[in-house]
Amino acid sequence: IHMKNISLYTALIFSSASYAIENGAFLNWSSSYSDIATFNCTGTVIAGNKLITASHCEPQKNSVYLADSKLLSATSSNHPTSLDDEFAPDVSVWTLPETVQTENIRFIANLNTDPVNDNDYVTILGFAGGTELNSAKTMINSSFSKANNWYRSTFIGNGITQGGDSGGPWLNEEGKIVAIHRSVDDDSSMIATRLYSVKDWLLKEINGWHYPTVKTGSGNLSIKIQSLHQGGATNGAYTTGNISLTGGTCFDREFSPFETCTYNVKASEWASGTLHLSKTEVININPVVVPSADTTNTFKVTRTNTTPFSGKREKGLQMYQEDWGSSDSVEVSMGQSVTVNEDTVTMLTTESLMDCSAIAILTGFDGINYTKRTLMHLNGSNVYAPLNYEENAKHILSEAKESLQNGGKVIICGGMSSQSDFGLEITIRQKEILDLIKMDNTDVVIAGSKSISVSPDGSFTLDGFTRGELDEETKHQIVQNAIND
- Asked if residue 441 lies in contact with residue 430, where contact means CB atoms within 8 angstroms, the answer is no
pTM of the model: 0.58
CA 218/CA 204 separation, integer angstroms: 36
CA 340/CA 344 separation, integer angstroms: 9
Given this model, what pLDDT does residue 44 score? 96
Secondary element (H or E) of residue 398: helix 394-403
Residues 67-94 have a mean pLDDT of 86
Instruction: For residue 165, name the pLDDT band (cuts at 50, 70, 90).
Output: confident
Instruction: For residue 356, name the pLDDT band (cuts at 50, 70, 90).
Output: confident
Find how far residue 209's CA is from the centre of its chain. 23
DSSP string, 27-60: --HHHH-TTEEESSSEEEEETTTEEEE-GGGGGG
Given this model, what pLDDT does residue 88 score? 84
Give CA angle at 260 (259, 261), nearest 5°: 135
Angle between helical axes of 472-484 and 421-428 (0-180°, round to 10): 50
Instruction: For residue 84, name the pLDDT band (cuts at 50, 70, 90).
Output: low
CA 42/CA 90 separation, integer angstroms: 13
- Asked if residue 309 lies in contact with residue 295, where contact means CB atoms within 8 angstroms, the answer is no
Instruction: For residue 391, name the pLDDT band (cuts at 50, 70, 90).
Output: low
**Please, what are the domains in the chain?**
25-201 (2.40.10.120), 207-285 (2.60.40), 329-484 (3.30.1330)
Instruction: For residue 389, name the pLDDT band (cuts at 50, 70, 90).
Output: low
Per-residue pLDDT of 173-228, as tens digits, reads 999 999 999 887 767 778 889 999 999 999 999 999 999 999 999 999 999 999 99
Most confident of 58-62, 71-75, 384-388, 402-406: 71-75
- Of 25-29, 88-92, 169-173, 240-244, which range is least confident? 25-29
Alpha helices in 156-216 (DSSP H): 199-206
- Asked if residue 408 lies in contact with residue 363, where contact means CB atoms within 8 angstroms, the answer is yes
Given this model, what pLDDT does residue 23 score? 66
Per-residue pLDDT of 34-80, as tens digits, reads 999 998 789 999 999 999 999 988 888 888 999 888 889 999 999 98
Strand order in the sheet with 337-341: 312-314, 317-320, 337-341, 370-378, 357-365, 408-414, 442-448, 468-469
- Asked if residue 134 lies in contact with residue 126, where contact means CB atoms within 8 angstroms, the answer is yes
CA 7/CA 22 separation, integer angstroms: 13
Given this model, what pLDDT does residue 178 score? 96
Given this model, what pLDDT does residue 169 score? 96
Q: 28 — phi, psi (to 5°)?
A: -80, 100
Instruction: For residue 369, name the pLDDT band (cuts at 50, 70, 90).
Output: very high
- Asked if residue 354 lies in contact with residue 65, where contact means CB atoms within 8 angstroms, the answer is yes
Q: Tell me the Ramachandran region of residue 175: left when phi exceeds 0, alpha when psi lies from -120 to 50, beta otherwise.
A: left
Burial class (CB in 10 A: 0-12, 13-18, 19+), 293: exposed
Given this model, what pLDDT does residue 313 score? 28
CA 103/CA 224 separation, integer angstroms: 11
Under 8 Å CB-to-CB from 73, ≥6 apart: which residues?
61, 62, 63, 64, 97
Most confident of 2-11, 193-202, 298-307: 193-202
- Of 6-20, 210-224, 330-344, 365-379, which range is least confident? 6-20
- Strand runs labelled E in 185-281: 190-194, 208-210, 214-215, 219-228, 233-234, 238-241, 244-248, 254-255, 260-267, 273-276
